Amino acid sequence: MAEHVLAQGAPVYQALQCAAAPVQFAPQDDLPEGAAYEQHIFDTGRVPTRDNLHDFFNGLVWRQFPLAKRRLNALQAGAIAAHGIGAVRGPLRDAITVFDENGALLDAPEPLWQALQAREWSRLFVDLRPLWREARLLLFGHALLEKLVAPRKPIVAHVYRVQCAMDSVADADAWLAQQIGPEHWATKPFTPLPVLGVPGWWPANEDPQFYADAQVFRPPRTVSDKAP
């Protein structure tokens, strides 16, 4: 859709407008020079939007997850107001950015979570493969969505575990907005997941050898790896 809009010469911000949206979308030059992007959104309710896929997907996520996006934006604005804009974002803003750009929600049975956290890739995707029928992966990060337009094996999502019924996106949005708190979020409570390894997401992963690529499906870090 975004590529079609761009090809037709229509600005992406116009394509995203929706009366029910929690924010309005504006051209990029709506952002004053020197102003912080997240602070501007918080203060004005307007999202400066460039004519590219990245900002198009960001707009779609605003429309699908309005409560969670508002919560993330409010925390960003609060951190900016307290600490200003520096060379380093700080742990909270850094964690928010990671999830906002590359996050996903995963509702999965306990054995899948244990294997994922242990990076036991063969167990996760081969031995426990039938359990993925009971799992649901819901993408949130707009940069992640952009990457998947041209899928590559190394694409990794930072997933947050869902512990509620995801009967609809609206339910997931309301639950996630309640989960996002500054102390918890600053710990980066996310787990890396190579998304094209998920059964049904990529035809090549039907072959168990797909998961033998240690550059993508990396082994757990050892104590010596963690040492300075």
Q: Are 89 and 198 in contact (CB under 8 A)?
A: no
Q: Are 83 and 51 in contact (CB under 8 A)?
A: no
Q: Could you tell me whether strands 24-27 and 191-194 are parallel, antiparallel, or unpaired per DSSP bridges? A: unpaired
pLDDT tens digits for range 169-213: 999 999 999 999 999 999 999 999 999 999 999 999 999 999 999
* CA-based radius of gyration for the chain: 19
Sign, Cα dihedral of 89, 90, 96, 97? positive
pLDDT tens digits for range 59-106: 999 999 999 999 999 999 998 888 777 656 789 999 999 999 999 999
pLDDT tens digits for range 214-227: 999 998 876 545 44
What number of CA atoms fall less than 13 Å from residue 62's CA on the CB side?
A: 25
Structure tokens at 36: 């912080």
